[in-house]
Structure 1
Amino acid sequence: MPSQHKNIVLLIADDLGMYIGSYGCSSISTPNLDRLASTGTRFDMAFASTSSCSGSRSTIYTGLHTHENGQYGLNWSKSHFQTFQHVDSAPKLFNQAGYRTGIIGKVHVGAEEVYPWQVREENGTRDVAWVADRCEAFFERAIADDTPFFLTVGYIDPHRDIATRGGFGNHEEQYGSRVPLLDVKSEDVEVPRWLTDLPETRQELVEYYKAVNRIDTGVGLVYEALERQGLLDSTLFVFTSDNGPPFVNSKTTLYDAGIHLPLIVRQPGADAGTVNPNMIPFVDILPTLLDWANIPLDIRISDRDPRLPPSPPRGGRSFLPILQRTDLLPESKWQHHVFGSHTFHEMQNYWPNRVLRTRRYKYHRNVAWRLDFPFAGDLYASTSFEGIRNMKPPVMIGRRKLQDYIFRPPEELYDLEADPDEIHNLAGEKEHQVLLLECRERVSEWQTQTKDLWLYRDGQSLTVLGRYAKDGLQVPERLDFDVERPGTRGVEMTRHLGVDGYSAGIER
């Protein structure tokens, strides 16, 4: 008997960008994802809210940016970033609503009490057949208990395997006949514009293609398990990735290569093969899942520890009402911009930046621009970067000079229609100063609303200094501290200080 419940399966790839056939990569083999897109909705303008694995997953699970939920970087080894105890997460909310919740595969967020999945089968395997079998067992138990379910599948692929400098977990016969290894040649791969076409790059992409194909197989196996269990007509099926591909100039950056990602949603009964052009930030995913399950979007945990402050309000909204739209909605009905927030990857990768991306323009506020832009360990060690750094000068990462990748200015502004690779910075050009200031102010207002500790003026956090506003403290409006002219007399002062008191949140 078909399920009468409104179920959810959320699948998250690890480090998958737009290397999917239905997203225009003709050289890759992704038949199952292509089939999913043909039976559901493919969003062409979906954006991760950060570009680091743990942080991005936390934004999906909480509907909050990392500077709101506390998952500033990786929940891994000595980095050990954790989501704040008081934050309402997807498993908490769905548990309260009577759902059977579970996660299989990669978890990569913490702490466990903040993410209390009822079924937690954390595993680092790339055997997607095993993952699908565990999913089917989860489905069978939910059917037996006559309970609606929300299952998250965290794939390891196509992340680097860490143990090698250019490997992606591809080993002949490792996973059995249900997970064949794709045959790829270096001349077959597509090198994106943001990456340098070198033999080392192509060889890593050969291995990357195999890992991408393996996750595609896994998606197909989970879909077939749902079909066998008679659950396709009652299950919202969502596929996405946490951040862009694991190469320099993509992962850990807020350039589009790091955050412009696939999002495919199959809603039972909806039109098939929809291509939706509207902009979707990942903080909208949780509200959408709640909406599908008929759970109020403003739901809060009822049995909260009274010693903890309330969970921050979720700023996203459900895209379920526009899921089947193929037209570009007017600004009055849908946002045509997204914000992004990145602070850490690994602990040593401190480089906070905030972005505003509209359909045409991209603004970057690089808070710690005086620091070198840091490499994630696996990207620095990669054979592709080894090839890039040893190329004949000028050393280029795609169309970007290596020195421009490492040394970045306090602000960047790009016209994406003319410059989709974000190379020609307009921030210093006189004719774009009005636009620059408008973007800076929009980001500042968003940071104020979300109580971002990295809302900086004069090199200081206005969010923290807000406690002194009542005593008359004023802070220069300039972004960075000026050691040559440190005085405050005759200098424009910021209007953001004290707008939203930081101290009140600390004292609760």
Structure 2
Amino acid sequence: MRKRTAFYGLAALLLFLSTGLSVSERPADEPLFTQRPNILWILSEDISTELACYGTSVVQTPNLDQMAKDGIRYTNAFTTAPVCSPSRSAIITGMYQTSIGAHNHRSHRDDGYKLPAPVKPITDYLRQAGYYTVNVKTAAPGVTTPTKTDFNFLPDHPVFDGTDWNQRQPGQPFFAQLTIDETHRGKAWKTVVKQHEPHIRPEDVVLPPYYPDHPVARADWATYLESIQLMDSYVGKILQRLKDEGIADNTVVIFSGDNGRCHARDKQFLYEGGIHVPLIIRWPGKLKAGQVNTDLISAIDVSATILKLAGVTPPAYLDGRVMLGKDAKKRDYIIAARDRMDETVDKMRCVRDKRFKYIRNYRPEVPYMQPNAYKETEYPMWNLLKELNQQGKLTSAQALFVAPTKPTEELYDLQTDPHELSNLAASAKHRKTRDKMRTILDAWVRETNDQGQYTEEKIWLPKK
């Protein structure tokens, strides 16, 4: 009975979706579809919107471009944290990581920390609705993917049922999370990324103005874009697998980043490069093709929407909002948070609407570029910025990030200043906007019981 109720609930949802759904003509007595949809969420690690369909001409991403043509491309999608473990903790629960005590990067790995009641992973609700839940290990022939979870809590039981949707019962719908890690800075950038065609010439890339126009910076940025091209080829193989298995038409495919790109000033920070991610959703015959959606979307909204698509009423406690259909609740702003990253203790919060972003730095006395073992060994541009700063060779835009302290507040007009270089927090002209953003953030801290208000009991330090 539960499955039947879920089926009719989803059918009703699809029939009355008022935004973005196309229903082809059919006899009045013919059901909208014969079974609940499979749901596949592809998470590419550490990427921002450097895809061809988002306007990056030097990169070639034909598979994701086609997916965007076949579905909906979102231009204002954001993660709730600029690094993987708090972001993924939020995604799997539909909650702000700050609401559930999962805000510090790579925390609670050995202290038995549990999710606060009544919070559960969304896979619990999907499993109760009859879904087989998967953390994919082999995505397609020749594409092995890490079964990454990276949650900052200890679940009561396994979050996923298996590692491949072919392990499910015949006819059983599945929800699958699939991670592609070649876009994550690491050994792949020196091996399979470099071996993949086509190569991107460093002299052809366009660097953000806060990076120095230097051969080291250009080469590193080109490698990042090449990793996206390799990732796109994997997406093509995954979509082909769905087609070969005859399940493409009844599978909702969601593609997004887990957080922003792995570069200095981006990942681990609340600027656009740290939290703005691509989001593309395809569902053949159900979602109207070729849409471009400009609504403000938080990654936890995808989590809530997945439950709705599966016929599950999202629990009332969720921070995420359904973003499709007649039950969609649009956001006036999104919130993101940065707390301890690796051994670097800091705290930042941001409020972003469609035009302005407000950032509050709770520790303005410490620099953005605090000592960090990971960045100092893995980020060529991190050390390049410091070296060029000592030589007095940085522009004013590039020197902002290497300053010895941070402003307490930052306010940017993203319409006129998309790279967030001109801080308007002290501008009399923008006082009203700044005060409004302040009020929004203060209310959010109270209403969500932001756990960043409290001191972390145990600080993680890198192993020597």
Same fold (TM over 0.5): yes
Shift of 1:401: 1.6
**Aligned counterpart in structure 1 of residue 444 of structure 2, from 436, 443, 446:** 446
8 Å Cα contact 1:48/1:282 also seen in 2? yes
8 Å Cα contact 2:182/2:231 also seen in 1? yes
Match of 1:103 in 2: 135
**Alignment of 1:284 onto 2:301:** yes
Structure 1 residues 413, 270: CA separation in 2 closer, same or farther (over 3 Å shift)? same
Unaligned runs of 5+ in 2: 1-32, 137-145, 456-464
**Aligned counterpart in structure 1 of residue 79 of structure 2, from 44, 48, 51:** 48
**Alignment of 1:118 onto 2:155:** no
Query: Which residue identity lines up with residue 176 of structure 2 in the other structure?
Result: L
Structure 1 residues 108, 407: CA separation in 2 closer, same or farther (over 3 Å shift)? same
Shift of 1:51: 0.1
In 1, the alpha carbon distance for the partners of 2:287 and 2:53 equals 19
In 2, the alpha carbon distance for the partners of 1:250 and 1:397 equals 18
Match of 1:18 in 2: 49
Match of 1:335 in 2: 331
**Counterpart of 1:289 in 2: which secondary structure?**
helix
**Counterpart of 1:401 in 2: which secondary structure?**
helix
Shift of 1:28: 0.5
TM-score by length of 2: 0.80
Structure 1 residues 442, 218: CA separation in 2 closer, same or farther (over 3 Å shift)? same
Structure 1 residues 23, 11: CA separation in 2 closer, same or farther (over 3 Å shift)? same
**Counterpart of 1:316 in 2: which secondary structure?**
coil
In 1, the alpha carbon distance for the partners of 2:174 and 2:48 equals 28
Query: Which residue identity lines up with residue 275 of structure 1 in the other structure?
Result: V
Structure 1 residues 206, 225: CA separation in 2 closer, same or farther (over 3 Å shift)? same
**Aligned counterpart in structure 1 of residue 202 of structure 2, from 169, 186, 199:** 186
Query: Which residue identity lines up with residue 349 of structure 1 in the other structure?
Result: T
Structure 1 residues 90, 18: CA separation in 2 closer, same or farther (over 3 Å shift)? same
8 Å Cα contact 1:74/1:81 also seen in 2? no
Single out whichever of 86-95 and 373-382 deviates more from structure 2. Answer: 373-382
Q: Relative CO higher for 1 or 2, CA cutoff 8 Å, sep ≥ 6?
A: 2
In 1, the alpha carbon distance for the partners of 2:112 and 2:388 equals 36
**Aligned counterpart in structure 2 of residue 420 of structure 1, from 395, 418, 421:** 418
Shift of 1:183: 2.3
In 2, the alpha carbon distance for the partners of 1:8 and 1:239 equals 11
Match of 2:341 in 1: 345
In 1, the alpha carbon distance for the partners of 2:258 and 2:174 equals 22
Match of 1:234 in 2: 250
CA deviations 1:143-199 (Å, max 9, x no partner) are x532110000012121111x6xxx72424898xxxxx44423222333233432210
Match of 1:320 in 2: 324
In 2, the alpha carbon distance for the partners of 1:447 and 1:228 equals 48
CA deviations 1:261-292 (Å, max 9, x no partner) are 10001123221111111111112111110111
Single out whichever of 368-377 and 47-56 deviates more from structure 2. Answer: 368-377
Match of 2:239 in 1: 223
Shift of 1:84: 2.7
CA deviations 1:178-226 (Å, max 9, x no partner) are xx44423222333233432210011112322222112111111111111
8 Å Cα contact 2:82/2:274 also seen in 1? yes
Match of 2:176 in 1: 151
1:473-492 counterparts in 2 under 5 A? none
Match of 1:310 in 2: none
8 Å Cα contact 2:189/2:227 also seen in 1? yes
Query: Which residue identity lines up with residue 337 of structure 1 in the other structure?
Result: Y
Match of 1:8 in 2: 39
8 Å Cα contact 2:335/2:350 also seen in 1? yes
8 Å Cα contact 2:108/2:154 also seen in 1? no
In 2, the alpha carbon distance for the partners of 1:3 and 1:96 equals 20
8 Å Cα contact 1:48/1:242 also seen in 2? yes
Shift of 1:73: 3.1
Match of 1:36 in 2: 67
CA RMSD across the alignment: 2.9
Shift of 1:237: 0.5
Single out whichever of 205-214 and 351-360 deviates more from structure 2. Answer: 205-214
**Aligned counterpart in structure 2 of residue 434 of structure 1, from 427, 432, 435:** 432
Structure 1 residues 71, 37: CA separation in 2 closer, same or farther (over 3 Å shift)? same
